[in-house]
Structure 1
Amino acid sequence: MNKYLQRLPLSTIIFTASEMAVYITYLSIDLTFAFSPVISDIFKYAGVLLCFLYIHWIPGAHPAIRKSFLLLIFSDYFLLFTDSYFAGVVLFGAIQCLYFIYHSGLKRLPPGLAAVSLIFPGLWLISSLLGFRGILPAAASIYLSLLLTNLIFAFRRALASKNTGLFIFSAGLVFYLLCDFNVGLMNAPDYFPAATPLWLSFLRVRQVHQGTAFAIWFFYLPAQVLIALSQTSLSPSLAASKTWDSPRGVSS
């Protein structure tokens, strides 16, 4: 273990330690209500910005992952500091398309997935006519389908290629899914009438609502950190492969 730590680049050690400090800080704020929620959101956004800076600092990161973190700083800004939730979900859908490019070894989206990605601008246009509330579940459903597709295929390719970066990337997607599961639990009561099943009434209990809200960022930042760490030199990513532009370019 000590030999492994000695081999870690200094930038990775600093990044990981900084993210741990940010993570403990905002979780402590959320648990104790010691400060305004805005302070917690600032630390959360700082954690995302650190991922963005790290992925653009280290050499050899896959271009699709770098682009995904650029979109991420915009999507999380919408979700943390504005009411433009639909814009955030649309950007997350685009991020999932970039993830597919990464783990598939392609340089561009295949026609089928490209067609799916075109649905997002259409939903955005429709939302301007119908309002966010009516169209947001549709966008979230498309995003979730993309996430599940990425999770399944990334694990399959990681097992086939033995690529360490893909294993870490896949673990990040698992944390993503756990985060989104709690997002769904927290928002489910808003999309059902007042006369709801018992389990939805249970979700309206204040303590349960606070618990799901806490769990969202309990899982979310670790997801981003794992995806960023999947690009480190000790976790060789697909960018290190000379055949990453080929559908078979998944070897380490």
Structure 2
Amino acid sequence: MGERLHDKTALVTGSTSNIGRAIAEAFAAEGAHVIVSGRDRERAAQVVEGIRAAGGRADFLVADLDGSAEASRDLAERARRSLGGHIDILVNNAGIYPGSVTTATDEETFDRVYAVNVKAPFFLTAAVAPAMAEAGGGSIINLGSWVARLGIPVGALYSSTKGAMETLTRAWAAEFGPRGVRVNAISPGVILPHTTEGNEPHPGEIMMKGTPAGEVGSPDAIARAAVWLAGDEASFVHGSVVDVDGGRVGAAVIAA
């Protein structure tokens, strides 16, 4: 067990699997009391049990962040009660990804994706940040994406929601930073939680060809960045989007 987040409390949305789970586990391993939230009780139980078995502190709160202000406020209040009255760290990770192209996206899908990916974290931040400021400060970490800044032909809707979250990161840093609440974002590259089976390469692996890393990343890479942003080591970091993408948007390797 580490001490980088000793005695901190954290709420991580969408933390029953993949990146969210890795962040929750990493926070707990560094001493934080973590609220695991999501819709899947079975997967959540596995995450909480694993954290506790490793000596960490974690509890589960079921949450369906549908974009309504009520759902976000309800989760914030329940998390505060479970964490002893305050939240030091908020990670806005929950999101959905429909991979269809623009012409195949209907209005219902559009509204649902923006509700989960933008409205829910917007109102959750509104419910958490003021209390953080009153308690003396805190850290909010949003999840962006490399596709917010490098156009690809599929997924325009999802890309635009992540662009919105990166813009909100800068706006919230200006709004809440003077009151002691640091707001930053992580922009993951292609992240795969498990080794691809079979002979055919995963599409994500193809996307990482020609990058400095040359391969996909793991959820642990994002979790390590989140620990840094959440802790005192990043005390002078405000309004930044940290690319953890293997160089996908920033550099190209030209093969001979």
Please say whether Structure 1 and Structure 2 have the same fold, judged by a TM-score greater than 0.5.
no
If you compute each CA radius of gyration, which structure gives the higher value, 1 or 2?
Answer: 1
Tell me: higher relative CO, structure 1 or 2? Use CA pairs within 8 A at least 6 residues apart.
Answer: 1
- TM-score band by shorter chain is 0.3 to 0.5
TM-score of the two chains, using structure 2 as the length reference: 0.33
The structure with the largest helix share of the pair is: 1
TM-score of the two chains, using structure 1 as the length reference: 0.34
The structure with the largest strand share of the pair is: 2
